[in-house]
Every structure is written in C-alpha cells, then in structure tokens.
Amino acid sequence: MSKDNGGSSILAEILERLDVSDDTRKMLSRAQRRLEVSVPVRRDDGTLSVYRGWRVQYNDVLGPTKGGIRFHPGVTLEEVTDLARWMTIKCALLNLPFGGAKGGVQVDPKELSGQEKERLSRSFIRAITDIIGPDRDIPAPDVNTGPRVMGWMVDEYSIIKRQQVPAVVTGKPLPLGGSAGRVEATGRGALHVLDVWAGRQGKKPEDVTIAVQGFGNAGGNFAVLAQEAGYKIVAVSDSSGALHAAEGLDPAPLFEKKQSGDTIGDLGAKGAEQIGTDALLALDVDVLALAALQDAVTEKNAGDVQAGMILEIANGPVSPKADAALAERGVQVLPDVLVNAGGVTVSYFEWIQGRSGDYWGAEKVDSRLKERMLPVAQHCFDRAEEDGLTARQAAYAIAIERIAAAIESRGDSCYFRQ
C-alpha cells in the first residue's frame, strides 16, 4: 500500500499555521506506541503460517485510543502509523473522548478458509491483549474485517480475561453487544456531510450526479442511502469492473448481489454499460465518491478527474500531490477525517452501550449520528471559508486545537516558565 505520508505532511503544515504550544508539536510528531507482533496460524492442512502484525497507538491525550484492524497483504507499519494519526485527528474533530490507533495484519484473507481466518483473528488478539482494553485501546473493523471478525476477537479477549468485556471491541454482531446502525454508519455519515455540502451549494439531491468507486460496506451503503435520499448514482465499481448509466442506476439490488459474493464485473443493470475502473474516475459527474483504498487518485491520474467535488469515504484516497493539483483546478475535496467519521462515531455509541448495558434502537443511533455529523461538517466548511483554507486544512485545524487545549490544560512548557 501507499508510502505517501500525507497525514504527516498536512499535520505539520497545520501545526505551523496554528498558535499552539511546542509541547503539542512534539507530542503529535510521533506515535506514543508501535507494537509489532508475530501472528501464528495453524492452517487446515496442518502447516503453520506466521504473519506480521502491528498495533499503533498514536496519541491518547483525549482518551483511550480507538481504531480499526485490517487484514491486507499490503499492510505495513508505516501505513498503520499513518492511519493511527488520521484516527487521532478524526476523533478530535468529532469531539469524541478517544485518541487514535490502528492495527493490521499483513495477510491476504482471500487465501484463508473461514476457520483459518478465525484462527488468525484470535491469534492477533492474543498477541495484542496486553495493550488493549475498554479504558485503554478499543479495536474495530476495517478493510477485510467486519462483525464476524470482531465477534471472534471480543470472544477471545473475554476468554483470556475470564470475564465478559463487550466494550473492548466495537463493530460486533448485535447478539454479542454490537450497536444497531453500525454497519451502515460510515456510509450514512458520508451522506450527512454530502447533504451539508449540497445545501451550502444550493443544490437539490436530484440535481447531483455521483460516481462511487469502491462498493464494499462503506461505498455500497453510501450509494444505497444516497439514492434513497434522491441523489443520482450514475456509476459504481469494485476491483473487478465498473457499471455506468448516465440516467442513473439503482444500487440496492447490485449491493445485495455484491454481498452475496458477486462482483461488479459479473453484474449488469438496466440501461448500464460495463466500463473500466479507471474510466469511472474520469466521468463527468458532480461528485466522485472514493470508497476503496488509499491513493486511488494520485498526481498521475488527478488530471483525469472531471468531478467538481471528491468525497473521501476511504482513508487517504487522494494523495497529497493530487490534493494540491485538484485544489489548483478548483476541485473541492471533502476529507476522510470528516466524511468517514460516522463509523467511529457509532463505534463510540457502541462503546457507551457496552459499558452501560443500555442498548439503543436504530432510530436513536441514526438520530444521534446526525446530531453529531451535521454541526461538525458546518463548522469545518465555515472555518474553511473564514480562514481561506481547504476543507481538509480546516478539519485538521479544528482537531489540533482541541488536542492542544487538552495538552495545555495539563500544564505545558509555558506553565512551568511562569
């Protein structure tokens, strides 16, 4: 995966702009803890495979660290560190009582059977048990992990601790203490940000065309919810191919088939044509929603983008150089730390529910998510306009100021020089 240290560069840039203490700059310059572990897995044929895994806790000044675990062959320590840094900013931006963390195992889960994937999940939790907990670090789903994997992980942790600890992991199945609305949360949160943007632009949903790259949980749910809200979804893609229908397509049946194991390359839809995945990025649409992996848009293909706005549903889908090039062309990029924050926000709700034993219905979860996302999005866009910043710069500024306030409240170097 990407070695483009975009989170670090934007963090350094905004720290230079802000009037914050030197303590804040130093504490945000590097991760507090980076743990590498070996993850042994007994294969179905009796052989043993050992994979590399990491858990990075970047900063915990606002509370226990929070962040997902991904299974992917391209996972590296550098990538996990970048993602943990982004989570630190994201939690602060949403004013959640969390710091940022991330974890990953360098493995191709497609090569594992279901039983092998369970052994992998349990083995990784055994390896990091000593540094996680509901008051210390709370894992969650990410790329190639989901409710079932989180269920295995919370079960393994409870076995080790010899007690039920539902709040140690979020994104769990509902019968194991998961939250209603968690599966759709990332897509729903992205839709709330899109609604704020469209309202400020004076656009009605039916007048906004959207192409969605990435049709997994986040992108698929976003496409379905956006279409239900009146937006026109004209293209969707996964790694196998893309479907395009200029008059719009219905993503719901496509997403249902995708969840059953089909790929976009195998599917068709009325009035739609199969196009290449690269061609989707170059479609003339109002919004390009990026919900796949990092660096989908780089300096090499940024010039092909014709959309007026990019919605970053994935983590880091626009590289820093591409971000600068798009800004020069007037293409607005709504940043990942805001757009995909619905997932961690509902994870926070799940953490509250797990600690209290008071579980909420989907209507309450969705309502509370909206109450959090809308004002934060408005605040980001207001800050960008007032200070002449991009939406990404504004989001980082708001988040860093909250982290700085917590650091300085504990007594920074200025206090000790009095």
pLDDT tens, 133-192? 999 999 999 989 999 999 999 999 999 999 999 999 999 999 999 999 999 999 999 999
8 A C-beta contact, residue 249 and residue 234: yes
Question: Residue 414 — very low, low, confident or very high, per pLDDT cuts 50/70/90?
Answer: low
Instruction: Please check the confidence at residue 1 and state whether its pLDDT lies above 50.
Output: no
H or E segment at 328? helix 320-328
CATH of 6-18+32-168, one of 3.40.50.150, 3.20.20.140, 3.40.50.10860, 3.40.50.720: 3.40.50.10860
Question: How far is the CA of 108 from the CAs of 93, 111, 117, 291, 304, in angstroms?
Answer: 32, 6, 10, 20, 31
| Sequence ranges of the domains in the chain | 6-18+32-168, 185-339
Instruction: Please check the confidence at residue 200 and state whether its pLDDT lies above 60.
Output: yes
Question: How far is the CA of 270 from the CAs of 13, 164, 230, 309, 326, in angstroms?
Answer: 47, 49, 19, 27, 33
The pTM of the full predicted model, rounded to 2 decimals, is: 0.93
Question: Residue 2 — very low, low, confident or very high, per pLDDT cuts 50/70/90?
Answer: very low
Q: How many CA atoms lie within 13 A of 127 on its CB side?
A: 22
- In percent, the amount of the chain with pLDDT more than 70 equals 97
3-state secondary structure of 416: helix
Domain 6-18+32-168 shares a fold with domain 185-339:
yes
Active site residue 102: yes
8 A C-beta contact, residue 227 and residue 242: no
d(CA 100, CA 63): 9
- pLDDT for 43: 98
3-state secondary structure of 122: helix
d(CA 280, CA 302): 13
The active-site residue out of 66, 90, 102, 232 is 102
**DSSP β-bridge partners for residue 404:** none
- pLDDT for 150: 98
- pLDDT for 416: 65
CATH topology of domain 185-339: Rossmann fold (3.40.50)
Cβ density class 362-386: b for 16+ within 10 Å, e for less = eeebbebbbebbeebbebbbebbee
At 87-123, the pLDDT tens digits run: 999 999 999 999 999 999 999 999 999 999 999 999 9
